[in-house]
Amino acid sequence: MVLAVLGGGLLVLGLVAVATGILPAADAAALGERIAPVLGFVVAITVVAAIAAEAGLFDRLASIAARLARGRGALLWVLVVLVAVASTVFLSLDTTAVLLTPVVVTLARRVGLSPIPFAMTTVWLANTGSLLLPVSNLTNLLAESDPAFGAAYLARSWLPATVAVLVPVAILAVVSRKALAHRYTAPTAEAIEDRVLFGIAAVVVALLVPALALGEPLLHIPVWVPAAVAAVVLVGAAAVRRPHALSIRLLPVPLVLFVCGLFLAVTALGRLGLTEVLTAAAGTGGGPLDLLRLAGVGTVTANLADNLPAYLALEPVAGTEQRLLALLVAVNAGPLITPWASLATLLWHARLSALEVRISWWRFAGLGLIAAPLTVGLATLAILLT
Protein backbone atom coordinates (compact mmCIF):
# COMPACT_ATOMS: atom_id res chain seq x y z
CA MET A 1 0.00 0.00 0.00
CA VAL A 2 2.81 2.40 0.88
CA LEU A 3 4.57 1.64 -2.41
CA ALA A 4 1.37 2.32 -4.35
CA VAL A 5 0.86 5.66 -2.61
CA LEU A 6 4.46 6.71 -3.20
CA GLY A 7 4.28 5.59 -6.81
CA GLY A 8 1.02 7.41 -7.38
CA GLY A 9 2.45 10.60 -5.92
CA LEU A 10 5.59 10.39 -8.05
CA LEU A 11 3.51 9.63 -11.13
CA VAL A 12 1.38 12.71 -10.54
CA LEU A 13 4.50 14.86 -10.17
CA GLY A 14 5.92 13.39 -13.36
CA LEU A 15 2.72 14.03 -15.28
CA VAL A 16 2.68 17.62 -13.97
CA ALA A 17 6.22 18.01 -15.29
CA VAL A 18 5.06 16.78 -18.71
CA ALA A 19 1.96 19.02 -18.68
CA THR A 20 4.00 22.13 -17.78
CA GLY A 21 6.71 21.43 -20.35
CA ILE A 22 9.46 20.78 -17.81
CA LEU A 23 9.70 17.31 -19.30
CA PRO A 24 8.87 17.44 -23.02
CA ALA A 25 6.24 14.96 -24.13
CA ALA A 26 8.62 13.51 -26.71
CA ASP A 27 11.19 12.77 -23.98
CA ALA A 28 8.52 11.20 -21.79
CA ALA A 29 7.43 9.00 -24.70
CA ALA A 30 11.03 7.96 -25.36
CA LEU A 31 11.42 7.11 -21.67
CA GLY A 32 8.27 5.01 -21.85
CA GLU A 33 9.68 3.06 -24.78
CA ARG A 34 12.84 2.28 -22.81
CA ILE A 35 11.15 1.10 -19.62
CA ALA A 36 8.11 -0.64 -21.14
CA PRO A 37 10.05 -3.86 -21.91
CA VAL A 38 11.47 -3.85 -18.39
CA LEU A 39 8.03 -3.50 -16.82
CA GLY A 40 6.63 -6.13 -19.17
CA PHE A 41 9.27 -8.55 -18.00
CA VAL A 42 8.66 -7.70 -14.34
CA VAL A 43 4.91 -8.29 -14.61
CA ALA A 44 5.32 -11.54 -16.53
CA ILE A 45 8.03 -13.04 -14.32
CA THR A 46 6.06 -12.12 -11.18
CA VAL A 47 3.04 -14.03 -12.50
CA VAL A 48 5.25 -17.00 -13.39
CA ALA A 49 6.74 -17.05 -9.88
CA ALA A 50 3.35 -16.82 -8.18
CA ILE A 51 1.76 -19.67 -10.15
CA ALA A 52 4.89 -21.84 -9.91
CA ALA A 53 4.78 -21.39 -6.14
CA GLU A 54 1.10 -22.32 -6.10
CA ALA A 55 1.93 -25.48 -8.05
CA GLY A 56 4.46 -26.52 -5.40
CA LEU A 57 7.54 -26.20 -7.60
CA PHE A 58 9.53 -24.16 -5.10
CA ASP A 59 8.70 -26.55 -2.27
CA ARG A 60 10.11 -29.45 -4.29
CA LEU A 61 13.27 -27.53 -5.27
CA ALA A 62 13.81 -26.62 -1.63
CA SER A 63 13.57 -30.27 -0.60
CA ILE A 64 16.16 -31.28 -3.19
CA ALA A 65 18.59 -28.59 -2.01
CA ALA A 66 18.11 -29.57 1.63
CA ARG A 67 19.04 -33.17 0.83
CA LEU A 68 22.10 -32.14 -1.20
CA ALA A 69 23.51 -30.20 1.77
CA ARG A 70 23.25 -33.31 3.99
CA GLY A 71 22.02 -31.55 7.08
CA ARG A 72 24.68 -28.81 7.25
CA GLY A 73 23.36 -25.26 7.38
CA ALA A 74 26.61 -23.68 6.19
CA LEU A 75 26.82 -25.98 3.16
CA LEU A 76 23.20 -25.25 2.36
CA TRP A 77 24.02 -21.54 2.35
CA VAL A 78 27.00 -22.12 0.03
CA LEU A 79 24.67 -23.88 -2.41
CA VAL A 80 22.35 -20.86 -2.29
CA VAL A 81 25.32 -18.54 -3.00
CA LEU A 82 26.33 -20.57 -6.07
CA VAL A 83 22.79 -20.72 -7.42
CA ALA A 84 22.19 -17.00 -6.79
CA VAL A 85 25.37 -16.01 -8.65
CA ALA A 86 24.64 -18.33 -11.60
CA SER A 87 21.03 -17.18 -11.79
CA THR A 88 21.99 -13.52 -11.74
CA VAL A 89 24.81 -13.83 -14.27
CA PHE A 90 22.84 -15.80 -16.84
CA LEU A 91 19.21 -14.84 -16.17
CA SER A 92 19.44 -11.26 -14.78
CA LEU A 93 19.11 -9.86 -11.31
CA ASP A 94 15.34 -9.38 -11.55
CA THR A 95 14.83 -13.07 -12.35
CA THR A 96 16.91 -14.03 -9.32
CA ALA A 97 14.91 -11.71 -7.08
CA VAL A 98 11.59 -13.17 -8.22
CA LEU A 99 12.31 -16.87 -8.81
CA LEU A 100 15.02 -17.66 -6.25
CA THR A 101 13.60 -15.77 -3.25
CA PRO A 102 10.63 -18.10 -2.69
CA VAL A 103 12.93 -21.11 -3.08
CA VAL A 104 15.39 -20.02 -0.38
CA VAL A 105 12.68 -18.86 2.03
CA THR A 106 10.83 -22.16 1.65
CA LEU A 107 14.13 -23.99 2.00
CA ALA A 108 15.07 -22.29 5.28
CA ARG A 109 11.65 -22.85 6.77
CA ARG A 110 11.62 -26.52 5.81
CA VAL A 111 14.89 -27.20 7.66
CA GLY A 112 14.19 -24.97 10.67
CA LEU A 113 16.69 -22.20 9.89
CA SER A 114 16.07 -18.47 9.85
CA PRO A 115 15.10 -17.35 6.32
CA ILE A 116 16.73 -13.92 6.79
CA PRO A 117 20.37 -14.89 5.96
CA PHE A 118 19.19 -16.75 2.87
CA ALA A 119 16.92 -13.90 1.77
CA MET A 120 19.71 -11.34 2.31
CA THR A 121 22.09 -13.49 0.28
CA THR A 122 19.62 -13.58 -2.59
CA VAL A 123 19.05 -9.83 -2.79
CA TRP A 124 22.69 -8.84 -2.27
CA LEU A 125 23.97 -11.23 -4.93
CA ALA A 126 21.14 -10.32 -7.28
CA ASN A 127 22.61 -6.83 -7.28
CA THR A 128 26.35 -7.36 -6.83
CA GLY A 129 26.47 -10.41 -9.10
CA SER A 130 25.00 -8.55 -12.07
CA LEU A 131 28.22 -7.18 -13.59
CA LEU A 132 29.71 -10.09 -15.52
CA LEU A 133 27.59 -10.34 -18.69
CA PRO A 134 25.52 -7.78 -20.63
CA VAL A 135 22.35 -9.83 -20.02
CA SER A 136 22.89 -9.78 -16.25
CA ASN A 137 21.54 -6.25 -15.92
CA LEU A 138 19.78 -3.76 -18.17
CA THR A 139 22.41 -1.17 -17.26
CA ASN A 140 25.05 -3.46 -18.78
CA LEU A 141 23.12 -3.64 -22.04
CA LEU A 142 22.88 0.13 -22.11
CA ALA A 143 26.61 0.48 -21.43
CA GLU A 144 27.57 -2.15 -23.99
CA SER A 145 25.79 -0.14 -26.69
CA ASP A 146 27.75 2.99 -25.76
CA PRO A 147 30.47 3.75 -28.37
CA ALA A 148 32.95 4.41 -25.54
CA PHE A 149 32.77 0.83 -24.31
CA GLY A 150 33.86 -1.17 -27.32
CA ALA A 151 33.10 -4.84 -27.89
CA ALA A 152 35.20 -6.57 -25.21
CA TYR A 153 32.73 -6.30 -22.33
CA LEU A 154 33.58 -9.59 -20.63
CA ALA A 155 37.33 -9.01 -20.88
CA ARG A 156 36.95 -5.82 -18.87
CA SER A 157 34.19 -6.86 -16.48
CA TRP A 158 35.33 -10.26 -15.16
CA LEU A 159 37.69 -9.04 -12.41
CA PRO A 160 35.49 -6.30 -10.90
CA ALA A 161 32.53 -8.69 -11.25
CA THR A 162 34.41 -11.35 -9.28
CA VAL A 163 35.36 -8.87 -6.54
CA ALA A 164 31.76 -7.62 -6.39
CA VAL A 165 30.62 -11.17 -5.58
CA LEU A 166 33.38 -12.18 -3.14
CA VAL A 167 33.16 -9.10 -0.89
CA PRO A 168 29.44 -9.36 0.02
CA VAL A 169 29.72 -13.15 0.36
CA ALA A 170 32.52 -12.67 2.89
CA ILE A 171 30.48 -10.10 4.81
CA LEU A 172 27.39 -12.31 4.84
CA ALA A 173 29.45 -15.31 5.98
CA VAL A 174 30.69 -13.34 8.99
CA VAL A 175 27.35 -11.73 9.85
CA SER A 176 25.34 -14.95 9.49
CA ARG A 177 27.85 -17.47 10.87
CA LYS A 178 25.88 -18.21 14.06
CA ALA A 179 22.55 -18.55 12.26
CA LEU A 180 24.08 -20.97 9.75
CA ALA A 181 26.15 -23.05 12.18
CA HIS A 182 23.42 -25.60 12.70
CA ARG A 183 22.72 -29.09 11.50
CA TYR A 184 19.27 -30.22 10.50
CA THR A 185 17.41 -33.31 9.47
CA ALA A 186 16.62 -33.21 5.78
CA PRO A 187 12.83 -33.14 5.39
CA THR A 188 10.96 -35.61 3.26
CA ALA A 189 9.36 -34.23 0.14
CA GLU A 190 5.73 -33.27 0.62
CA ALA A 191 3.08 -34.79 -1.60
CA ILE A 192 2.20 -32.77 -4.70
CA GLU A 193 -1.46 -31.75 -4.64
CA ASP A 194 -1.90 -31.31 -8.38
CA ARG A 195 0.62 -33.29 -10.42
CA VAL A 196 -0.65 -31.91 -13.72
CA LEU A 197 -0.19 -28.28 -12.71
CA PHE A 198 3.15 -29.13 -11.09
CA GLY A 199 4.37 -30.82 -14.27
CA ILE A 200 3.31 -27.89 -16.45
CA ALA A 201 4.99 -25.40 -14.11
CA ALA A 202 8.19 -27.45 -14.01
CA VAL A 203 8.38 -27.72 -17.79
CA VAL A 204 7.59 -24.03 -18.32
CA VAL A 205 10.22 -22.86 -15.82
CA ALA A 206 12.78 -25.35 -17.18
CA LEU A 207 12.26 -23.96 -20.69
CA LEU A 208 12.12 -20.37 -19.51
CA VAL A 209 15.56 -20.45 -17.86
CA PRO A 210 17.57 -21.11 -21.07
CA ALA A 211 15.23 -18.86 -23.05
CA LEU A 212 16.05 -15.96 -20.74
CA ALA A 213 19.76 -16.78 -20.75
CA LEU A 214 20.20 -17.29 -24.50
CA GLY A 215 17.31 -15.54 -26.21
CA GLU A 216 18.69 -12.01 -26.00
CA PRO A 217 22.36 -12.63 -26.89
CA LEU A 218 21.84 -15.31 -29.55
CA LEU A 219 18.45 -14.62 -31.11
CA HIS A 220 17.95 -10.96 -30.13
CA ILE A 221 14.64 -11.81 -28.48
CA PRO A 222 13.87 -9.39 -25.62
CA VAL A 223 13.58 -11.15 -22.25
CA TRP A 224 10.00 -10.00 -21.79
CA VAL A 225 8.87 -12.17 -24.71
CA PRO A 226 9.67 -15.64 -23.26
CA ALA A 227 8.57 -14.43 -19.82
CA ALA A 228 5.22 -13.31 -21.24
CA VAL A 229 4.74 -16.61 -23.10
CA ALA A 230 5.49 -18.52 -19.89
CA ALA A 231 3.03 -16.36 -17.94
CA VAL A 232 0.25 -16.92 -20.48
CA VAL A 233 0.78 -20.69 -20.45
CA LEU A 234 0.75 -20.87 -16.65
CA VAL A 235 -2.29 -18.60 -16.33
CA GLY A 236 -4.13 -20.86 -18.78
CA ALA A 237 -3.11 -23.96 -16.85
CA ALA A 238 -4.11 -22.42 -13.52
CA ALA A 239 -7.46 -21.30 -14.94
CA VAL A 240 -8.27 -24.93 -15.67
CA ARG A 241 -6.61 -26.68 -12.72
CA ARG A 242 -6.78 -24.13 -9.91
CA PRO A 243 -8.91 -21.08 -10.83
CA HIS A 244 -9.04 -19.80 -7.25
CA ALA A 245 -5.31 -19.00 -7.51
CA LEU A 246 -5.95 -16.36 -10.16
CA SER A 247 -6.62 -12.82 -8.95
CA ILE A 248 -5.53 -9.25 -9.55
CA ARG A 249 -3.08 -9.67 -6.68
CA LEU A 250 -0.85 -11.69 -9.02
CA LEU A 251 0.02 -8.44 -10.80
CA PRO A 252 2.60 -6.14 -9.15
CA VAL A 253 0.48 -3.02 -9.67
CA PRO A 254 2.02 -0.96 -6.81
CA LEU A 255 5.50 -1.75 -8.07
CA VAL A 256 4.66 -0.71 -11.65
CA LEU A 257 3.14 2.55 -10.40
CA PHE A 258 6.24 3.27 -8.33
CA VAL A 259 8.69 2.56 -11.16
CA CYS A 260 6.77 4.67 -13.68
CA GLY A 261 6.47 7.56 -11.24
CA LEU A 262 10.11 7.33 -10.17
CA PHE A 263 11.45 7.36 -13.73
CA LEU A 264 9.28 10.31 -14.74
CA ALA A 265 10.18 12.28 -11.62
CA VAL A 266 13.93 11.66 -11.88
CA THR A 267 13.97 12.48 -15.59
CA ALA A 268 12.12 15.73 -14.88
CA LEU A 269 14.64 16.58 -12.14
CA GLY A 270 17.37 16.07 -14.72
CA ARG A 271 15.75 18.77 -16.82
CA LEU A 272 15.70 21.06 -13.79
CA GLY A 273 19.46 20.86 -13.27
CA LEU A 274 20.12 17.50 -11.63
CA THR A 275 22.31 16.38 -14.55
CA GLU A 276 24.55 19.44 -14.18
CA VAL A 277 24.90 18.86 -10.44
CA LEU A 278 25.83 15.22 -10.96
CA THR A 279 28.32 16.16 -13.67
CA ALA A 280 30.09 18.55 -11.32
CA ALA A 281 30.08 15.99 -8.51
CA ALA A 282 31.35 13.09 -10.62
CA GLY A 283 34.36 14.95 -12.00
CA THR A 284 36.60 13.74 -14.81
CA GLY A 285 39.76 11.70 -15.24
CA GLY A 286 40.70 8.04 -15.16
CA GLY A 287 42.96 7.75 -12.12
CA PRO A 288 42.09 5.65 -9.05
CA LEU A 289 40.65 8.59 -7.12
CA ASP A 290 38.73 9.79 -10.18
CA LEU A 291 37.11 6.40 -10.66
CA LEU A 292 36.31 6.13 -6.95
CA ARG A 293 34.76 9.59 -7.05
CA LEU A 294 32.49 8.65 -9.98
CA ALA A 295 31.61 5.33 -8.34
CA GLY A 296 30.81 7.08 -5.07
CA VAL A 297 28.47 9.53 -6.77
CA GLY A 298 26.84 6.65 -8.68
CA THR A 299 26.32 4.64 -5.49
CA VAL A 300 24.72 7.55 -3.64
CA THR A 301 22.53 8.44 -6.62
CA ALA A 302 21.39 4.83 -7.09
CA ASN A 303 20.38 4.55 -3.44
CA LEU A 304 18.51 7.84 -3.61
CA ALA A 305 16.77 7.43 -6.94
CA ASP A 306 17.07 3.80 -8.17
CA ASN A 307 20.00 2.42 -10.14
CA LEU A 308 18.62 2.66 -13.68
CA PRO A 309 17.71 6.37 -13.52
CA ALA A 310 21.07 6.90 -11.81
CA TYR A 311 22.88 5.24 -14.70
CA LEU A 312 20.96 7.22 -17.31
CA ALA A 313 21.67 10.48 -15.44
CA LEU A 314 25.41 9.80 -15.09
CA GLU A 315 26.12 8.07 -18.39
CA PRO A 316 26.90 11.35 -20.21
CA VAL A 317 29.68 12.20 -17.71
CA ALA A 318 31.46 8.84 -18.01
CA GLY A 319 32.99 9.18 -21.45
CA THR A 320 35.62 6.44 -21.35
CA GLU A 321 35.53 2.65 -21.07
CA GLN A 322 37.03 2.64 -17.56
CA ARG A 323 34.70 5.33 -16.29
CA LEU A 324 31.66 3.56 -17.76
CA LEU A 325 32.70 0.37 -15.98
CA ALA A 326 33.19 2.29 -12.72
CA LEU A 327 29.67 3.67 -13.13
CA LEU A 328 28.32 0.16 -13.73
CA VAL A 329 30.04 -1.09 -10.59
CA ALA A 330 28.35 1.69 -8.65
CA VAL A 331 24.82 1.29 -9.98
CA ASN A 332 24.91 -2.53 -10.01
CA ALA A 333 26.79 -3.40 -6.83
CA GLY A 334 26.01 -0.25 -4.84
CA PRO A 335 22.19 -0.44 -4.42
CA LEU A 336 22.33 -2.24 -1.08
CA ILE A 337 21.15 0.47 1.30
CA THR A 338 17.65 1.70 0.41
CA PRO A 339 14.73 -0.56 -0.53
CA TRP A 340 14.10 1.32 -3.79
CA ALA A 341 17.75 1.40 -4.93
CA SER A 342 17.07 -1.26 -7.56
CA LEU A 343 14.06 -2.87 -9.13
CA ALA A 344 15.42 -6.25 -8.04
CA THR A 345 15.27 -5.17 -4.38
CA LEU A 346 11.67 -4.04 -4.78
CA LEU A 347 10.77 -7.34 -6.45
CA TRP A 348 12.57 -9.24 -3.71
CA HIS A 349 10.66 -7.42 -1.00
CA ALA A 350 7.38 -8.05 -2.80
CA ARG A 351 8.11 -11.78 -2.79
CA LEU A 352 9.05 -11.66 0.91
CA SER A 353 5.79 -9.91 1.70
CA ALA A 354 3.85 -12.55 -0.24
CA LEU A 355 5.67 -15.21 1.81
CA GLU A 356 4.96 -13.33 5.08
CA VAL A 357 8.64 -12.78 5.86
CA ARG A 358 9.31 -9.58 7.76
CA ILE A 359 12.69 -7.87 7.54
CA SER A 360 13.82 -4.71 9.30
CA TRP A 361 14.71 -1.99 6.80
CA TRP A 362 16.95 -0.46 9.48
CA ARG A 363 19.01 -3.63 9.63
CA PHE A 364 18.96 -3.89 5.85
CA ALA A 365 20.26 -0.33 5.52
CA GLY A 366 22.83 -0.78 8.29
CA LEU A 367 24.36 -3.85 6.67
CA GLY A 368 24.20 -2.12 3.30
CA LEU A 369 26.15 0.85 4.64
CA ILE A 370 28.95 -1.58 5.44
CA ALA A 371 28.77 -3.69 2.29
CA ALA A 372 28.16 -1.06 -0.40
CA PRO A 373 31.28 1.10 0.14
CA LEU A 374 33.57 -1.94 0.52
CA THR A 375 32.14 -3.75 -2.49
CA VAL A 376 32.02 -0.74 -4.79
CA GLY A 377 35.41 0.58 -3.69
CA LEU A 378 37.32 -2.69 -4.14
CA ALA A 379 35.53 -3.61 -7.38
CA THR A 380 36.24 -0.15 -8.80
CA LEU A 381 39.93 -0.42 -8.01
CA ALA A 382 39.93 -3.84 -9.69
CA ILE A 383 39.04 -2.11 -12.96
CA LEU A 384 42.58 -0.72 -13.08
CA LEU A 385 43.97 -4.27 -13.17
CA THR A 386 42.05 -5.42 -16.26
pLDDT band at 379 (very low <50, low <70, confident <90, very high): very high
pLDDT reported for residue 184: 83
Cβ pair 54, 238 in contact under 8 A: yes
Contacts of 32 (CB under 8 A, 6+ apart): none
Q: pLDDT tens digits, residue range 91-136?
A: 788 888 888 898 899 888 888 888 999 999 999 999 999 998 777 8
pLDDT reported for residue 335: 95
Cross-strand bridge partners of residue 183: 72
- Please state the pTM of the whole predicted model: 0.81
Q: How far is Cα 383 from Cα 358, in angstroms, rounded to an integer?
A: 37
Q: Which among 40-49, 121-130, 243-252 has the top mean pLDDT?
A: 121-130
pLDDT reported for residue 149: 64
pLDDT band at 146 (very low <50, low <70, confident <90, very high): low
pLDDT reported for residue 147: 65
pLDDT reported for residue 207: 92
Q: How far is Cα 209 from Cα 203, in angstroms, rounded to an integer?
A: 10
Q: What integer best gives the mean pLDDT of the chain? A: 87
Q: pLDDT tens digits, residue range 1-26?
A: 666 777 788 888 888 888 888 888 88
Main-chain phi, psi angles of 86, to 5 degrees: -60, -45
Give me the numbers of helices (H) and strands (E) for the chain, helices first please: 19, 0
pLDDT reported for residue 251: 84
Contacts of 315 (CB under 8 A, 6+ apart): 142, 143, 146, 324, 327
Measured at the alpha carbon of residue 132, what is the angle toward residues 292 and 120, in degrees to the nearest 5? 80
Q: pLDDT tens digits, residue range 57-103?
A: 887 887 888 888 888 889 999 999 988 998 888 778 888 888 889 88
Q: pLDDT tens digits, residue range 295-344?
A: 999 999 999 988 888 888 888 888 788 999 999 999 999 999 998 899 88
